[in-house]
Amino acid sequence: MTVISADGQAGGSGGSRPVIEVRHLTKRYGPILAVDDLSFTVAAGQVTGFLGPNGSGKSTTMRMIVGLDAPTAGQVTVDGQSYGQLRFPLRDVGALLDAGAVHPGRTARDHLAWLAASNQIPSGRVDEVLGIVGLAGAARRRAGELSLGMGQRLGIAAALLGDPPVLIFDEPVNGLDPEGILWVRKLLQSLAAEGRTVLVSSHLMSEMALTADHLIIIGRGRLLATGTVAEFIERSEGHHVHAQSPDAAALAGLLRQKGAIVTADGTEGLSVTGMESRDVGIIAAQAGLTLYELATQRASLEDAFMELTHEHGEYRAPTPAPQGTPA
């Protein structure tokens, strides 16, 4: 995993060739800097999770990728081309940015029909994607009458319409029930397995840990970290053992001799990193020291994410970024 230093440079993408390339992207809305010198790449054949708290600039970045908003500075290309250069771009990039963007009086099929026509996509594809997302039975229903979850499925159908090699989803599981969430997760993974480039945003690390292969984490419009989900899990579940002993000071000395990093945690508590709890227990027993508590503390992915985004969200320039293990 790569944690980004102050110069805002992106780490490696970790996958195959980069398809979406974001370079020094900046977007300013009046006094608000929504995206701040953001650089990253998204590779084909894997699901890339785009993570950040609400308001961190995910949606703005995605809007710039598909040419809806013009960057204040920097550039973004899809397969080497800027989106504005694409003719019939739905065949190249499918996007779900706002599932609520439908005319409530138009039927689901008509909604997809005008989109298909705009990019000369055969009209037969409309019923095909309605089938894929499980809305075949609702084709003639007006979009305004669809439930939140069905509306979300319609938005996903629109993204799939052009059978594009690149797919971008902004919070696709919003409003879905657990079954729907599972369905989206499998869909994204199968799209990636077909060799497509899949970028999906979320503010939930737990969801991304299950869905994505690769993560891009931003906070306040700046890149915070990139890396594979596996690397992220490894980092967040570091060896951290908590021990309680009446002979804490003596035990700390012994553990340090064996190479552990030990910090005091209260009068009788010790926080040990770089050693398994099993070894801590054996060392204490051999020295005849009493242990009345011994546990491995696992920080959750969510904690690691919170820590990362909080740190970078609240405090700006002076705090140096923590150094992670290189990707």
Partner 1 sequence: MSQTLAPVRATARPPASLRRVFAAAARSEWIKLRTVRSTIWALVLTVVFAIGLGALFTAIEVSRWDHQTLTGLNRFDPLLYSFAGLNLAQLSIGVLGVLVMTSEYSTRTIKLTLGATPQRSVLLAAKVATFSAVVAVVGLASCFAAFWVCQALLAPKHAGLSISDPGVLRAVIGGAVHLMLVGAIAVGLGALIRRTAGAVAVLFAVLLVLPGLVTLLPAPWNNDITKYLPNSAGAAMSAVVRFPNLLSPAGGLIVLCAYTAATMILAAVALTRRDA
Q: Which residues of 51-63 are buried (b: 16+ CB within 10 A; e: fewer)?
A: bbbeebbbbbbbb
Residue 131 CB neighbour total at 10 angstroms: 13
Q: Does 310 bind partner 1 (CB under 8 A)?
A: no
User: Is the sign of the CA dihedral 70, 73, 79, 82 positive or negative?
Assistant: positive
H-type helices in 146-238, by residue range?
A: 148-160, 178-193, 205-211, 229-236
If binding is defined by CB under 8 A, does position 145 make contact with partner 1? no
17 binds partner 1 (CB under 8 A): no
Q: Which residues contact 197 (CB under 8 A, 6 or more apart)?
A: 19, 20, 42, 43, 44, 45, 48, 165, 166, 167
Q: Which is nearer to partner 1, 216 or 262 (CB)?
A: 216
String of contacts with partner 1 for each residue 279-308, x by CB under 8 A: ------------------------------
Q: Order across the sheet with 2-3: list the strands.
A: 2-3, 222-228, 214-219, 47-51, 197-202, 166-170, 93-96
Q: Does 125 bind partner 1 (CB under 8 A)?
A: no
- Between 68 and 287, name the residue whose CB sits nearer to partner 1: 68
Closest contact distance (angstroms) between CB of 17 and partner 1 is 12
Number of residues that bind partner 1 (CB under 8 A): 46
216 is an interface residue for partner 1 by CB under 8 A: no
Instruction: Out of 39, 41, 46, 152, point to the residue binding partner 1 (CB under 8 A).
Output: 46
CB 192 within 8 A of CB 213: yes
Rounded CA gap, 148 and 100, in Å? 9
Check binding of 86 to partner 1 (CB under 8 A): yes
Applying CB under 8 A, which part among 86-94, 204-212, 240-248, 252-260 lies near partner 1? 86-94
Nearer to partner 1, 88 or 326 (CB): 88
Name the site residues for partner 1 (rule: CB under 8 A): 15-16, 44-46, 63, 66-70, 83-84, 86-91, 95, 97-98, 100-107, 110, 113-115, 117-120, 158, 163, 165, 192-196
